[in-house]
Structure 1
Amino acid sequence: MVKNFLLICLFIITFAVLAGGKMYWDGQINSVLVETLSMKAPEQSVKSEVNEDPEKAAANKEKMLKLDRLNYLPPELQQKFREKINQDKPLHFMILGSSSTSEQKGAWPDLLEKRLMDVYGNTLLNVTVKEMANMTSTEIVEENLQEEWVKKKPDILLIEPFLLYDIEEIAIKKRLKNLTVMLEDFKKGNPDLTIIIHPSNPIYGAHYYLEDEKELEKYAKENKYIYLDHWKSWPDSNEKEIKDYLTNESLPNKKGNEAWAQFLLHYFVREI
């Protein structure tokens, strides 16, 4: 009996030792596997990065740079630019107006375009400037001259609507009707068009012209267009100082163009 009891005890001890040993070695093996996998993970990550398509990586980097530049834009324009970035297309920004919106070097459209290109680049923005000189808004509409520019389908239209050139020819109500015809044509060409209106340059001793500018601002707000009142950057039109900003033809000179451009730049390029 004693012998059998000892054999049973020996069997139990042997089984316990074997089971304990197996559990210990299983734990050691699992630990080694985990460590090995953790060491391989970074290698696999690096390998994945190395194997990434260079063109795709460059495109992703360029897209992130473009998105970062959106922070400089006014909030109401950021979505418009974001849509173009997702389409991998530049946004078409058109500047249109009378002789006050000159195509000459050093004029405010030229100064604005150069600064916009410096900030946003031609992969994000394409700028077109069109000066329709020596013509009233009625002549433009009757001859349907805006159609040439409607076909270009701008995404943003910054228009100076012949307010000054029309002043001695056409009543303000007619001028606003002409403006409506032009803008409706542009919207037919691109229903998603963003329209920004700003007045022609101020002049000395404006009188009725001041009222016309107020009517233009009222028109813009009633039609939910963005209105940029750059007159705030000029001297008061009743002060002789404003003559220092104008040519003999009451158009912007170097100083006037710089004042106009500076106001617009504060809108299109925000400080962040």
Structure 2
Amino acid sequence: MKKFLYITTILLSISVIVFGHLHWKSKISTASVSANDDITEDSDANVNESEVEETESKRNLETLTQNLPKEAASIIIDSFNKGEQLDLAFIGSEAQTKGSTPWPELVEEGLKEAYGPELFTVHNYNFGDEFSIRAIRTDDMDSIINDQPDIVILEPFLLNDNGEVNINHTIDSIRIIKRRMVEENEEVIFMVQPPHPIHEPGLYATQINALKEYAEETDTTYLNHWDNWPDVTDEEIKQYILEDISGPNDEGNKLWAEYIVNYFTGS
């Protein structure tokens, strides 16, 4: 009888040990699976979040650049994605320096707000009251071209040339600047824009039309910021121009800058 009880006790002890081991092993396995599931879920969440951010960034860039020519949009998106800077050069007359905050400075603020502070480096090159046919031969113009800006927006001295330089010579000056820019940097984005409007422009209006025709004939982007101003036949436009008509006043600078910023930000 004692022997039977002894054997029974041993068997029960062995059973308890085996059952306990199997139960422990099962819990470890379950915990391991649960942990792996958590890791997988976290990993999937991170991947999905990254994909969403990338898609959203791409969508935002496409919206911001929707007004631009394909080449300009491409270089902006590519530079943004690579974290590279773009040199944007405004070239024109003294009108680019008028007012307490000239329009190129307002444009720079708008671009930085839309694209972030690192993408665009804005340079404002003004040639005062110089004629176009002289400006193209200056050391300053040589220096700008040698710097190889990525995007150039030229205001081609039309108001300076008004009544002094034949419009054909002004257009020839534009052709020379563009040709030299492309020779130095074949990927340069070259655009033109008129100077500021004035009340009842007369001959000046004829020059503006010639500039538009040049842009159409050469497939050059024409930034017609005059659309943002009051009509040139309306006395109201005088409220946006300095009395000596040499450039925009503070309110005129806002109108000019607003057009450029909207163009570059898909508005």
Q: TM-score range by the shorter chain?
A: 0.7 to 0.9
SS at match of 2:123: strand
* 1:264 aligns to 2:256 (yes or no): no
Aligned to 1:174, the other structure's residue is in SS state helix
* Residue segments in structure 1 that go unaligned for 5+ positions in a row: 1-31, 51-57
Which residues of structure 2 form unaligned runs of 5+? 1-27
1:182-207: CA deviation from partner (whole Å, max 9, x where unpaired)? 11111122111111111011112211
> Could you tell me how far 1:83 is from its partner in structure 2?
2.1
Q: Is the 8 A contact 2:68 2:263 kept in 1?
A: no
Q: Which whole-Å CA distance do the structure 2 matches of 1:62 and 1:166 have between them? A: 50
Is 1:131 the equivalent of 2:126?
A: yes
Q: How far is the alpha carbon of 1:86 from its aligned partner?
A: 4.3
2:151 to 156, 161, 177: 156
Q: Which has the higher contact order (CA 8 A, sep 6+)?
A: 2
Summarize the alignment of residues 98-117 of structure 1 with structure 2, pairs less than 5 Å apart. Answer: 98-102=93-97, 105-117=100-112
Counterpart Cα distance in 1 of 2:115 and 2:43:
34
Q: How many angstroms apart in 2 are the aligned matches of 1:85 and 1:61?
A: 18
Distance 1:231 1:239 in 2: 13
Structure 1 residue 49 displacement after superposition:
9.7
User: Using the alignment, how far apart are the partners of 2:31 and 2:175 within structure 1?
Assistant: 72
Partner of 1:72: 64
For 2:259 and 2:44, the matched residues in 1 are separated by 49
Give the match's secondary structure for 2:252.
Answer: helix
Cα deviation 1:81-130 (Å, max 9, x = unaligned): 12213443112111111112227641111111111111112322221111
CA distance in 1 between counterparts of 2:235 and 2:214 reads 29
CA–CA distance in structure 1, aligned partners of residues 84 and 199 of structure 2 = 43
> For the residues of structure 2 that align with 1:129 and 1:171, how far apart are their CA atoms?
26
Tell me: CA distance 1:267–1:184, structure 2 relative to 1, closer, same or farther (3 Å). Answer: same
Root-mean-square deviation (Å): 3.2
1:200 aligned onto 2:195: yes
Give yes or no for contact 1:99–1:132 (8 Å, CA) kept in 2: yes
In structure 2, give the amino acid aligned to 1:254: D
Q: Within the alignment, does 1:40 sit opposite 2:32 as a pair?
A: no
C-alpha distance in 2, partners of 1:269/1:130? 23
Distance 1:40 1:63, change over 3 A: closer
Say if 2:88 and 2:120, in contact at 8 Å, map to a contact too.
yes
Give the Cα separation in 1 of the matches to 2:262 and 2:184: 29
- CA offset at residue 36 of structure 1? 5.9
Asked if residue 170 in structure 1 is aligned to residue 162 in structure 2, the reply is no
TM-score using structure 2 length: 0.76
Counterpart CA distance in 2 for 1:201 and 1:48 is 55
CA distance in 2, matches of 1:215, 1:262: 24
- Percent sequence identity is 24
Match of 2:22?
none
TM-score normalised according to structure 1 size: 0.75
Cα separation, 1, equivalents of 2:53 and 2:133: 45
1:234 corresponds in structure 2 to 229
Is the contact made by 1:107 and 1:257 (CA closer than 8 Å) also made in structure 2? yes
Q: 1:142: which partner in 2? A: 137
SS in structure 2 of the partner of residue 101 of structure 1: helix
The C-alpha deviation readout for 1:46-88, integer Å capped at 9, x for no partner, is 58999xxxxxxx9x99987864541222342321112213443
Question: How far is 1:238 from its partner?
Answer: 2.2
Sort the Cα spacing of 1:66 and 1:163 in 2 relative to 1 into closer, same or farther, 3 A: farther
CA distance in 1 between counterparts of 2:259 and 2:240 reads 14
